[in-house]
């Protein structure tokens, strides 16, 4: 079983693949919050780890006070570290939940999201789970919401298909960054078009409608 706390140690090296990816995600997260309509901005981060993206970016953002963020992380040690980091940064509006991010019930009260982070997930689950999560994203988001996701480009490279799945669900591509790292990481950014239709027309992914988990990590830690 992978030690997900130890996995975060590479963030201490600014030249590491995950640090380079983090910088890219933070840049897109900051831009997504900036272009969200005036007023409250709901951010939801699934499998949030220690929250380096949201907690590291938000303190200096001009719309900091507009943001309400829910970070969902199953590993209790990572979740505790994220909570400590949020408190140390004075981010009262960031809530860290020790819960299963694959279950919509863990964050249903924070929906619809204006910004949805799906980082560090698609490289650890099956292709069918990726498709299921992308198909669900439309029902988890407000109109005009931004989804930020990551995935490696190692063969077989699934990123082209993932981009097509987002397009098929009414998302416009904002960016697709191929990072020149050893892990061949890519960061994708998609925005839900207002023409995608009202939330009531979207698939019903509520737990009480019989929906199962969105994904299952090949390593059971998340």
Query: Which pLDDT score is estimated for 13?
Result: 79
Superfamily name and number for 4-209: Vaccinia Virus protein VP39 (3.40.50.150)
Look at residue 10 and tell me whether its pLDDT is greater than 80. Answer: no
Look at residue 196 and tell me whether its pLDDT is greater than 60. Answer: no
Domain segments of the chain as ranges: 4-209
Look at residue 8 and tell me whether its pLDDT is greater than 80. Answer: no
Query: Which pLDDT score is estimated for 222?
Result: 37
Count the neighbouring beta carbons within 10 Å of the beta carbon of residue 103.
16
Average pLDDT, the chain: 89
Q: What percent of the chain has pLDDT over 70?
A: 86
CB contact at 8 A, 101 and 222: yes
pLDDT tens, residue by residue, 145-157: 999 999 999 999 9
Look at residue 199 and tell me whether its pLDDT is greater than 60. Answer: no
Query: Which pLDDT score is estimated for 220?
Result: 44
pLDDT tens, residue by residue, 57-81: 999 999 999 999 999 999 999 999 9
């Amino acid at each position: 079983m992978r030690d997900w706390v130890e996995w975060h140690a590479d963030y201490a090296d600014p030249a590491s693949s995950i640090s380079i990816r983090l910088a890219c995600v933070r840049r897109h997260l900051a831009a997504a919050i900036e272009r969200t309509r005036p007023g409250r901005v709901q951010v939801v981060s699934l499998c949030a780890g220690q929250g380096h993206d949201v907690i590291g970016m938000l303190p200096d953002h001009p719309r900091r006070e507009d943001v309400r963020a829910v970070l969902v992380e199953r590993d209790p040690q990572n979740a505790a570290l994220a909570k400590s980091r949020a408190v140390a940064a004075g981010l009262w509006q960031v809530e860290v939940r020790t819960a299963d991010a694959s279950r919509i019930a863990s964050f249903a009260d924070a929906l619809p999201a204006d910004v949805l982070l799906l980082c560090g997930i698609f490289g650890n689950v099956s292709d069918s789970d990726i498709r299921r999560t992308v198909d669900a994203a439309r029902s988890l988001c407000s109109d005009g919401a931004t989804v930020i996701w990551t995935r490696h480009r190692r063969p077989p490279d699934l990123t082209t298909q993932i981009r097509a799945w987002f397009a098929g669900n009414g998302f416009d591509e904002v960016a697709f960054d191929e990072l020149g790292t050893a892990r061949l990481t890519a960061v994708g950014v998609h925005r839900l078009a207002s023409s995608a239709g009202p939330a009531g027309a979207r698939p019903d992914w509520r737990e009480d409608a019989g929906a199962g988990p969105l994904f299952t990590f090949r390593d059971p830690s998340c």
